[in-house]
Every structure is written in C-alpha cells, then in structure tokens.
Amino acid sequence: MSVHPETTKKLMISDLLRMKEEKTKLTMITAYSYPQALVVDEAGIDIILVGDSLGMVELGYKDTVPVTMDEMLHHTRAVVRAVKRAHVVGDLPFMSYNISMEQAVTNAGILYKDGGADSVKLEGGQDMAPVVRAIHKAGIPVFGHIGLTPQTAALLGGFKVQGKSLDDAKKVIDDALALEDAGAFALILEAIPKQLSKLITEKVKIPTVGIGGGVHCDGQVLVFHDLLGLFKRFTPKFVKVYADMYSLQIKAVKEFIDDVQKNRFPGDEHSFTMKEEDLRGLE
C-alpha cells in the first residue's frame, strides 16, 4: 500500500521504509518556523528537516557551526506544532554530539522529548557509528548524513563534492554501511557522484535521500529557502529554484510603501467608522 499525501495520518518510520521497498520516491524539505511547516505539510511533503541550515538561512550566521541546541529546540518546537502528516527530523548542531556519548544521547533526547521531533539527524560516517548506536539504543530514531558534512567542511577541504576518487568512494560506502549497522533508519547523501549514490542506495535497506546526490537516491531533499528563491547569498549547483519569492516579497513591500506614501492605503475597506451623530457629538 503506498502512502498518499492526501491522507493526514502521521507518517511512521515503517511507512518511509516501505516507500523505499515500493520504489515510491521520498520527498523532504527543511522548515524552521510554524508558517513554513504549515505550508510544506499541507503541500504533502513526506519528511521535514529542521536543519541546522537554520543558522545560515534564518539567523544570518556565516555557516552552520555557531548554531546552538537552544536555537534548534526553539525552531523544532515551532515546526512540530504545525505538522499533521510529515515525519519531523530535528538536526543535532555542531558540538552537541561530538564530545561524549552521554552528551550525544542527552541532546538527542532534548530534541526528541522536549522538541517533539520524530527523529534526530547527525553528520558523520564510521567515526559517528558508535554515537548513532547509543542514541538508537536509547530509543531515539537516527537519520544519518554522509558525503559532504557541512559542520566539518573545514576538514574536508571546504564545501566540495565527496567520494570522487576510488578510495574516497569506498570510504563513503563504508560510512553508509556502518551507519545502517549502527541502527540509522535513513541516510542523507550530500554532494557525492550520482553513480556512488546509486551503489549505496542498492547496498543499504534503509532509504537514501540525496542533496546533490543525483536521481538514483530513494528521495530528495532541498532547503526551503533555496527551493523558493529566498536565499540569495549563493545557490549550490544541486539546487533547483522553483520560485523567486525574494523578488515577490520586495515587490509586495515596495507596493505597500508606495500605497502609504500616496494615500492609497488604508482604503475604506480597511478602516473602521463611527456613526455620524456620535461624531457630531465630538465636535
């Protein structure tokens, strides 16, 4: 049985796994606020990621490194309040799971229990497998993220495509297998060659969701602001921009400024009136 967006029944991890088996493509998008989550859930998206990209597209940081647990919790809660159907993933920010196993499980618990996320995501492959195992053992579903891992991009030589050479490709495959073995229920494959994504997608039983991973992944994810043309600082090659909401918003605000300056707003339809006789009493 496939999962149709028309139903508002909450998607379970078993639904996402079944979609891979049935070869139904998974759709995933980021959202960071109540109104954004209302829109993407109503549109029928399967998975909403409250990503740490929050730092760049909503909070104005240079990259995702400064994002804090408090910020992630605040935004995860707002998204969760809006969502009826989609599976909501809370992203663990840099240094919230890298210090100790105890710290990782505690922070995963905060996004899951206090934030209301349906699962948590963290970046890293084989090195992070023990952490994924510990969070999974604590009863919290984990979404893995391999290939280009923006939180540790400095160690990868910047925001570069990963897994292009034979040795690097083998490492990304081993990362995927290690995370699956540790209990991850799905994997983001970021910025890797499409042939490598195909191999990984065939090798693992869990769904793969690509961002710059090519068409063979089980699903695709984009950042809300990229898809809607809301973020102008830069647009990676893997982004398809579906609307120019930035320009639309500028146009609307400019029209408002013009209307106010030329006394076209507010019109009678936006104003309140009192009875003439009461008005005369004031004179």
Residue ranges binding ligand KIV (CB under 6 A) = 30, 49, 51-53, 91, 145, 188, 211, 221, 223
**Which single residue is written with the structure tokens 């009192």?**
274
Write the CB contacts of 67 (distance below 8 Å, at least 6 apart in sequence): 52, 54, 55, 59, 61, 93, 94
Quote the CA–CA distance of 63 and 60 in Å, as a whole number.
8
Residues in the chain: 283
Q: CA 82, 88, 89, 92 torsion: positive or negative?
A: positive
Q: In the complex, which residue's CB is closest to ligand KIV?
A: 51
Nearer to ligand KIV, 11 or 254 (CB): 11
Least separation in angstroms between residue 49's CB and ligand KIV is: 6
SS3 26: strand
Least separation in angstroms between residue 1's CB and ligand KIV is: 28
Nearer to ligand KIV, 159 or 256 (CB): 159
Radius of gyration, alpha carbons of the chain: 22
The three-point CA angle 178-181-185 to 5° equals 105
DSSP structural state of residue 114: I
Least separation in angstroms between residue 149's CB and ligand KIV is: 9
Nearer to ligand KIV, 90 or 255 (CB): 90
Quote the CA–CA distance of 142 and 198 in Å, as a whole number.
22
Least separation in angstroms between residue 167's CB and ligand KIV is: 25
Active site residue 190: yes
Quote the CA–CA distance of 96 and 106 in Å, as a whole number.
9
Marked catalytic residue, from 21, 180, 190, 277: 190
Nearer to ligand KIV, 82 or 217 (CB): 217
Identity at 44, one-letter amino acid code: G
Nearer to ligand KIV, 53 or 201 (CB): 53
Least separation in angstroms between residue 143's CB and ligand KIV is: 9
Compute φ and ψ for 187, nearest 5 degrees: -135, 135
Residues with catalytic annotation?
Answer: 190
